[in-house]
A and B are shown apart, each in its own frame.
Chain A
Amino acid sequence: MASHPAKSTAPLEYAPYDDATQSLRQIPRYPRSFTRNPSQPLIRRPLTLSERTGPADLARRLPVDRMDLSRPDAGTARVAGQLIHVAGRVLDEDGAPLAGAMIELWQANASGKYIHEMDRHEAPVDPNFTGWGRLVTGAEGEYEFITIKPGAYPVGESDWWWRPPHIHFSIFGVSWMQRYVTQMFFPGEALNETDLLYNGVPDPEARQRITFQLQPTKVGIPNLLRYRQDFVMRGKRATPAVD
């Protein structure tokens, strides 16, 4: 995919996130959220150049273009799992596309296993599946990639909690303020009902924004299920003050 350098000439205004549209900071039955989030109020400070700038051109710094996680190398066999295609756009709060935004994604394999030293789940490793990718959005903020649907996995520190299938995302917009990390869920998964993180976003409408939308199915090469979701990054274009 062609790389579009981040267009970051227009300054953006950044209002603090509206808590009603976000995850709780402390989620009942999720112990770590109680020991790792500040007890003191967050401090409001004026935004300066330091926060309004940021690593907008990370594609120059980090390797990008892993579009097809299901095929480690061209010509080799696909990794095991349900093939899916995920697409969408990265937008700002004006609905304007963010060209050149960097998207990092990582996920478990079809058996719910990550290639990570801290993953103790005894599920099969798929040696061909690295489970990560890094992309840059196109001129209309669009992104797409092919992968396999990740499996569910148990949370080691708990005696009941299974994470539903999800894909992790980390996105860089045009500034330090426009930095976003989340997990995207699949629609209709029974485990979504009991997941502490999914339901840690109390507003059902907001939860829809972290749920992939299944697209109408089609049969034909390549045969894969298609999902869509847009990411809305914080930030609106600054408008001149009117007296």
Chain B
Amino acid sequence: MSQRTWVPSPYGTIGPFFLKPLVDGCDDLTQWNGKKARGQQIVLTGRVVEEGNAPVLNSIVELWQADAGGVFPHPLDPRAAEADPGFFGWGRARTDREGRFQFRTILPGGSREENGVARCPHINVMVLAIGVTRRLVTTAFFSDTPESVDDPALNCVPANARSRLFAVRDAALDSGATPVYRFDIVLRGDHETPFFLD
């Protein structure tokens, strides 16, 4: 039996003027509902650059991630009842003149599918910008041993580009007790970030 299908509306660029009040206060994922998120706090920072390694200022980066226990606060996750009440999992930030964004969040836990497939700790990342007519989606992975990571999304990425999807601990940038991870996003050019089909 065929059912009528509605066609998804066409995407458009976010343009230059995504207003400040829509971004303010969205870059800290470490507390929610007056509670502190469980787990290791981190700073996730990086630069968004375009062809020629030029900074992309005024782009919007959004995140979605599991909590420290690898649970997504969403009804589709069978473990949703165990989700950290101090963690919402979503964030948004704007890039500055150097193309830099910065979030405070917690190190995500690995998650497991109902069929047993394991996802390695990761954060979903999307970029919106002038000239980007459809959102660009990628994933930041976290591991001390990137070579040995077995993750169903990462395994789809050409082997020589996988390292670009790992956020790198940068001890020189550590802010006090909070470790800083760098995740640069190259929209186009040398060392281009692998993006996923959306």
Instruction: List the interface of chain A (C-beta within 8 A of B).
Output: 8-9, 11, 16-18, 21-25, 27, 30-40, 42-46, 48-56, 58, 60-62, 91-95, 104, 106, 108, 114-116, 118-119, 130-132, 134, 168, 170, 175-177, 179-183, 197, 200-201, 206-207, 209-210, 230-234, 236
- Given A11-B76, A27-B133: 4 more A-B contacts, CB < 8 Å: A44-B196, A46-B152, A54-B64, A56-B74
Given the complex, which residues of A lie within 8 Å of B4, measured CB to CB? 95
Flag if B133 contacts A200 (CB, 8 Å): yes
Q: What distance in Å separates the Cβ of A73 from its nearest Cβ neighbour in chain B?
A: 16
Tell me the bound Cα distance from A45 to B155 in angstroms.
8
Given A42-B195, A61-B32, A201-B10, does the pair A54, B19 have CB atoms closer than 8 Å? Answer: no
Tell me the bound Cα distance from A54 to B63 in angstroms.
10
Q: How many residue pairs between the two chains, A and B, have CB atoms under 8 Å in the bound complex? A: 232
Within 8 A of A (CB), among B129-178: 129-136, 152-153, 156-157, 161
* B11: contacting residue among A16, A23, A43, A176, CB under 8 A: A23
Given the complex, which residues of B lie within 8 Å of A61, measured CB to CB? 32, 88, 90
Q: What distance in Å separates the Cβ of B47 from its nearest Cβ neighbour in chain A?
A: 14
Given the complex, which residues of B lie within 8 Å of A48, measured CB to CB? 111, 113, 117, 119, 152-153
Given A183-B12, A231-B9, does the pair A24, B133 have CB atoms closer than 8 Å? Answer: yes
Q: What distance in Å separates the Cβ of B149 from its nearest Cβ neighbour in chain A?
A: 14
What class of interface size applies to chain B in its complex with A?
Answer: 35 or more
Tell me the bound Cα distance from A53 to B114 in angstroms.
14
Given the complex, which residues of A lie within 8 Å of B156, measured CB to CB? 43-46
Flag if B11 contacts A32 (CB, 8 Å): no
Given A17-B134, A36-B188, A38-B188, does the pair A210, B56 have CB atoms closer than 8 Å? Answer: no
Tell me the bound Cα distance from A232 to B4 in angstroms.
13
Tell me the bound Cα distance from A236 to B122 in angstroms.
26
Tell me the bound Cα distance from A31 to B50 in angstroms.
12
Flag if B17 contacts A51 (CB, 8 Å): no
* A45: contacting residue among B17, B20, B129, B196, CB under 8 A: B196
